[in-house]
């Protein structure tokens, strides 16, 4: 691609990814429970729908062959928009019968698979769309757009509640289809097309050839290690009472407050990622987050301790998210024939690390409550993070010596 995108344009293109995630993570549970579905059934639906976050990389090689990636982005956005509209129209049927529930689950899973592949497509295009010196800024806008998209997806609750069902489905579809229009500004990419059958047959060997290179192998390990997952964000909403925080204050700091501070952290992360080693920023933010988690674990059970800890944690999470995106773009590089696939694999590695900490933190909470969860989160971040950074330093010194 010869025309360079502005960094903010990447954010616009990435909005559908955040929108669909916001609908699945926040709007869907609320809409289903409001209609009388038991929370455990909602959790079962959500678990199945989110499976493509680990598995979508198996199909993402399709994006790296045949059609241009921006055409794939349009196709995937259209499929996701259609699935979102069908899900909105099928909410009542999902509550009324097992068949409707199964159909809703299947439709949303297809939509989530499509939007995961869409996100990987955009992520794989960034090194070609944006000048190398602006990759950190692109990562910043990508994550700000994700947070904004999450908010937009959550607002689907308002659309479903106040509009006719067809109108709400139309609003969701427009939210998904308008942002990809900015890809029309990108010129057709120049690459040697490969047939789908050939690409899928050779994808494992191609990936192995790439990933066994030292810089890719180290990068993959950094993403896979559970040093900077920031999983505790998902549990803060239920911890306010442990610190004497009123429900209204807890909802504000863990909702709006986290979104604002993460956005501020994303801006700071963009500035830092343009100047410092992104590997150290990615892992280092996780290590520093232990100040917040351990401070809350061993500090006094006061509301302001909770507010301060959550605020610092959210700020560092924003830095981490941008460093992760910028590091992924750096590893992929320009004109990489497997760019979308590599982006998907790196994000899948992140999701594996997140799932490890979700299970670990959840078990710690069941055993020792909020103290156990915060202690586990902080201890793992320090131990794993310091080990990973020591490995990065060792590899760098060895590379310079050679």
Distance between CA atoms of residues 327 and 330, nearest Å? 5
Tokens of 93: 């049927």
pLDDT of residue 284: 93
Domain ranges, ordered by start, for the chain: 7-186, 211-401
Residues 267-306 have pLDDT tens digits of 999 899 888 899 999 999 999 999 999 999 999 999 999 9
pLDDT of residue 176: 93
Contact (CB, 8 A) for 144 and 109: no
pLDDT of residue 204: 62
Nearest to 120 by CA among 350, 354, 358: 350
More confident residue, 236 or 110: 110
**Residue percentage of the chain with pLDDT more than 70:** 91
Residues 356-394 have pLDDT tens digits of 887 888 788 888 888 998 999 999 999 999 999 999 998
pLDDT of residue 352: 86
Tokens of 297: 């674990």
Residues 203-247 have pLDDT tens digits of 566 666 666 677 778 888 898 888 888 888 877 877 888 888 887
Nearest to 84 by CA among 50, 114, 51: 114
pLDDT of residue 1: 43
Predicted confidence (pLDDT) at residue 113 exceeds the cutoff of 90? yes
Candidates 1.20.1250.20, 3.90.1150.10, 1.10.3470.10, 3.40.720.10; CATH matching 7-186: 1.20.1250.20
More confident residue, 259 or 212: 259
Predicted confidence (pLDDT) at residue 192 exceeds the cutoff of 70? no
Residues 66-98 have pLDDT tens digits of 678 888 999 999 999 999 999 999 988 888 889
Residue for token pair 């992140």: 350
Say whether 211-401 and 7-186 share the same fold: yes
* pTM, full prediction: 0.79
**Residue percentage of the chain with pLDDT more than 90:** 31
Tell me if residue 163 falls in helix, strand or coil: coil
pLDDT of residue 16: 93
Where does residue 380 rank: exposed (0-12), middle (13-18), buried (19+ CB within 10 A)?
A: buried
Distance between CA atoms of residues 225 and 381, nearest Å? 10
Predicted confidence (pLDDT) at residue 200 exceeds the cutoff of 70? no
Contact (CB, 8 A) for 170 and 85: yes
DSSP string over 249-312: HHHHIIIIIHHHHHHHHHHHHHHHHTTS-HHHHHHHHHHHHHHHHHHHHHS---HHHHHHHHHH
Predicted confidence (pLDDT) at residue 193 exceeds the cutoff of 60? no
Q: What is the average per-residue pLDDT within 309-332? A: 90
What CATH number does the domain located at 211-401 have? Answer: 1.20.1250.20
pLDDT of residue 2: 45
Distance between CA atoms of residues 13 and 276, nearest Å? 26
Mean pLDDT of the chain: 85
Question: What is the helix (H) or strand (E) element at residue 123, kind and residue range?
Answer: helix 98-129
Distance between CA atoms of residues 197 and 72, nearest Å? 17
pLDDT of residue 191: 61
Distance between CA atoms of residues 323 and 318, nearest Å? 9
| Least confident window among 176-180, 293-297, 327-331, 335-339 | 335-339
Residues 37-70 have pLDDT tens digits of 876 677 778 888 888 887 887 788 788 776 788 8
Q: What region does 163 belong to: left with phi over 0, alpha with psi -120 to 50, or beta?
A: beta
The one-character DSSP state at 189 is P
More confident residue, 320 or 338: 320
Predicted confidence (pLDDT) at residue 199 exceeds the cutoff of 90? no
Tokens of 131: 């000048």
pLDDT of residue 157: 81
Q: Quick one: how far is CA 124 from the chain centroid?
A: 15
């Amino acid at each position: 691609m010869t025309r360079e995108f502005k960094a903010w344009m990447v954010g616009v293109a990435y909005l559908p990814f955040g929108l669909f995630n916001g609908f699945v993570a926040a709007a869907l549970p609320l809409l289903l429970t409001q209609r009388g579905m038991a929370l455990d059934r909602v959790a079962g639906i959500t678990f199945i729908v989110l499976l493509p976050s680990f598995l979508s990389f198996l199909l993402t090689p399709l994006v790296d062959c045949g059609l241009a990636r921006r055409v794939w982005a349009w196709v995937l956005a259209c499929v996701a928009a259609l699935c979102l509209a069908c899900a909105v129209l099928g909410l009542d049927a999902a509550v009324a019968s097992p068949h409707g529930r199964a159909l809703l689950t299947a439709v949303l899973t297809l939509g989530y698979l499509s939007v995961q592949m869409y996100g990987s497509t955009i992520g794989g295009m960034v090194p070609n769309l944006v000048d190398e010196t602006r990759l950190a800024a692109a990562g910043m806008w990508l994550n700000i757009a994700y947070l904004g998209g999450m908010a937009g997806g959550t607002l689907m609750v308002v659309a479903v509640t106040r509009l006719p069902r067809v109108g709400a489905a139309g609003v969701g579809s427009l939210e998904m289809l308008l942002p990809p229009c900015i890809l029309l500004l990108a010129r057709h990419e120049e690459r040697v097309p490969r047939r789908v059958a050939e690409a899928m047959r050779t994808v494992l060997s191609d990936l192995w050839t790439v990933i066994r290179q030292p810089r890719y192998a180290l990068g993959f390990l950094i993403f896979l290690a559970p040093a900077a997952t920031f999983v505790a964000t998902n549990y803060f909403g239920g911890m306010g009472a442990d610190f004497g925080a009123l429900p209204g204050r807890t909802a504000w700091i863990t909702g709006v407050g986290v979104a604002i501070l993460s956005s501020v952290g994303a801006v700071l992360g963009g500035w830092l990622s343009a100047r410092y080693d992104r590997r150290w920023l990615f892992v280092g933010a996780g290590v520093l987050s232990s100040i917040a988690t351990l401070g809350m674990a061993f500090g006094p059970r006061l509301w302001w301790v909770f507010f301060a800890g959550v605020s610092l944690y959210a700020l560092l999470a924003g830095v981490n998210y941008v460093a992760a995106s910028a590091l992924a773009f750096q590893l992929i590089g320009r004109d990489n024939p497997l760019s979308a696939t590599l982006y998907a694999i790196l994000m899948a590695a992140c999701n594996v690390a997140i799932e490890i900490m979700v299970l670990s933190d959840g078990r710690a909470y069941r055993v020792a409550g909020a103290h156990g969860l915060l202690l586990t989160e902080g201890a793992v971040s320090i131990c794993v993070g310091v080990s990973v950074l020591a490995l990065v330093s060792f590899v760098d010194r060895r590379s310079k010596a050679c």
